[in-house]
């Protein structure tokens, strides 16, 4: 089964010699359905740890069961069992909680950070004052590597004067980490993720100005590294990649490989930064389906496509570290426009929809949805 989008002309980038081989090859067959019998066999398996008291394990979480009870009906109750949360405003980034009990989802325009989990109502954890006009607002989230002890959430946001990175604890006010990222009428999207305890990577958009993305003196249109962003004072960024267009997402593969999605005027891209810092183009979409959030596992990368309304699943060649086969599309046209993505606590991919911004919202939008891998028994495509 190959679910490539009609009319798409997808072309792999040239292979880079000497790229570090990935640790394992995903057994996803692009001409048929691979079988993933449980979450443990999935490449998307977050490390189980405990979270802080504010967003730690929930005692009211329903017990694990192999069969689902009938779903109730009513406003904001979706009949689809793979829908985790409903009736949200336009979503931003999403990140799974360390204990696997759920996820935090950003509402881009309201600045709210919500905790979501299956069969439970969304709960507001924090709210950040943002400028949600155009494509700005609360754009992405990352959890502190020491979240167990400090409960800190890092966020990429738009203010009235700039785009910036802040950190916030539940019930506290945001503290700046990196300020002065240019903002514009468009191109304000950004993303962030921790690569280790002392290093944060930040993806910035071009703020509608491709020339700024190429300017080494501008923070716009870059992938940046921030050392020790948790020491209580603004961090000094180092440029890793320049020439970013409209920022999509940044995601980390086990072993240290960083994957970056962005949209340019001529194509959408997935770029790869290996642990040694070498940058290569891994895949391009000349038909520009709207690359957005990404999730990386062992030998696989999943990319949410906003315009194509699907998740593109790509296998990384074990020997070369490159992507040579056309992506398989999951959940195409099932949930509308997709934005943020993250490896779920159950081995599936969790995504946020963005139908309230330029889409066709249904009565329960916007939503958080789990996208099962083919054959995992969760109701995904097969």
On whether residue 172 sits in a domain, the answer given is: yes
Instruction: Summarize the confidence of residues 159-168 as an average pLDDT.
Output: 96
Q: How confident is the model at residue 376 (pLDDT cuts 50, 70, 90)?
A: low
Residue 41 pLDDT: 56
Residue 48 pLDDT: 43
The answer, yes or no, to whether residue 339 has pLDDT greater than 90, is: yes
Q: How confident is the model at residue 203 (pLDDT cuts 50, 70, 90)?
A: very high
Helix spans in 93-239 (H): 147-150, 210-214
On whether residue 301 sits in a domain, the answer given is: yes
Instruction: Check which CATH number belongs to the domain holding 334 and give it.
Output: 2.120.10.30
On whether residue 68 sits in a domain, the answer given is: no
3-state secondary structure (DSSP) of residue 225: strand
On whether residue 6 sits in a domain, the answer given is: no
Q: Is pLDDT larger for residue 231 or for residue 201?
A: 201
Percentage, residues of the chain above pLDDT 70: 78
On whether residue 74 sits in a domain, the answer given is: no
Domain extent at residue 123: 11-52+80-371
On whether residue 332 sits in a domain, the answer given is: yes
Lookup: tokens for 319: 């020997």
On whether residue 356 sits in a domain, the answer given is: yes
Domain count across the chain: 1
Lookup: tokens for 71: 């779903």
CA distance 369 to 309: 13
Within a 10 A sphere around the Cβ of 116, how many other Cβ atoms?
A: 23
On whether residue 138 sits in a domain, the answer given is: yes
Residue 381 pLDDT: 37
Contacts of 364 (CB under 8 A, 6+ apart): 76, 77, 78, 83, 86, 87
CA distance 290 to 127: 28
Residue 96 pLDDT: 94
CA distance 61 to 268: 39
∠ CA 139-164-110, rounded to 5°:
40
Instruction: Summarize the confidence of residues 170-190 as an average pLDDT.
Output: 93
Residue 4 pLDDT: 31
pLDDT, one tens digit per residue, over 104-121 is 999 999 999 999 999 999
The answer, yes or no, to whether residue 288 has pLDDT greater than 90, is: yes
Lookup: tokens for 41: 């066999």
């Amino acid at each position: 089964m190959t679910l490539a989008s009609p009319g798409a002309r997808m072309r792999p980038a040239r292979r880079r010699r000497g790229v570090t081989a990935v640790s394992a090859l995903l057994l996803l067959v692009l001409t048929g359905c691979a079988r993933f019998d449980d979450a443990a066999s999935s490449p998307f398996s977050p490390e189980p740890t405990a979270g802080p008291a504010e967003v730690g394990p929930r005692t009211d979480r329903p017990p694990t069961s192999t069969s689902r009870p009938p779903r109730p009906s009513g406003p904001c109750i979706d009949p689809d069992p793979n829908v985790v949360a409903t009736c949200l405003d336009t979503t931003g980034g999403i990140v799974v909680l360390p204990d696997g009990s759920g996820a935090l989802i950003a509402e881009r325009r309201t600045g709210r950070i919500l905790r979501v989990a299956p069969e439970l109502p969304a709960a507001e954890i924090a709210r950040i004052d943002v400028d949600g006009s155009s494509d700005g607002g609360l754009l992405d989230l990352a959890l502190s590597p020491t979240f167990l002890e400090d409960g800190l959430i890092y966020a990429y946001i738009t203010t009235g004067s700039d785009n910036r990175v802040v950190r916030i604890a539940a019930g506290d006010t945001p503290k700046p980490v990196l300020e002065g990222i240019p903002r514009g009428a468009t191109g304000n999207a950004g993303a962030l993720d921790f690569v280790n305890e002392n290093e944060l990577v930040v993806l910035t958009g071009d703020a509608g100005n491709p020339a700024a993305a190429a300017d080494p003196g501008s923070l716009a249109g870059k992938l940046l590294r921030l050392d020790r962003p948790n020491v209580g004072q603004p961090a000094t960024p180092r440029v890793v990649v320049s020439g970013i267009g409209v920022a999509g997402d940044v995601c980390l593969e086990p072993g240290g490989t960083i994957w970056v999605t962005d949209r340019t005027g001529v194509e959408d891209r997935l770029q790869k930064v290996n642990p040694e810092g070498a940058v290569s183009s891994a895949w391009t979409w000349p038909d520009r389906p709207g690359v957005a959030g990404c999730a990386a596992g062992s030998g696989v990368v999943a990319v949410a496509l906003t315009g194509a309304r699907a998740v593109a699943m790509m296998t990384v060649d074990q020997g070369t570290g490159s992507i040579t086969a056309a992506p398989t599309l999951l959940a195409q046209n099932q949930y509308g426009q997709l934005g943020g993505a993250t490896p779920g606590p159950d081995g599936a991919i969790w995504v946020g929809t963005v139908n309230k911004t330029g889409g066709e919202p249904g009565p329960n939008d916007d939503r958080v949805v789990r996208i099962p891998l083919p054959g995992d028994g969760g109701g995904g495509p097969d």
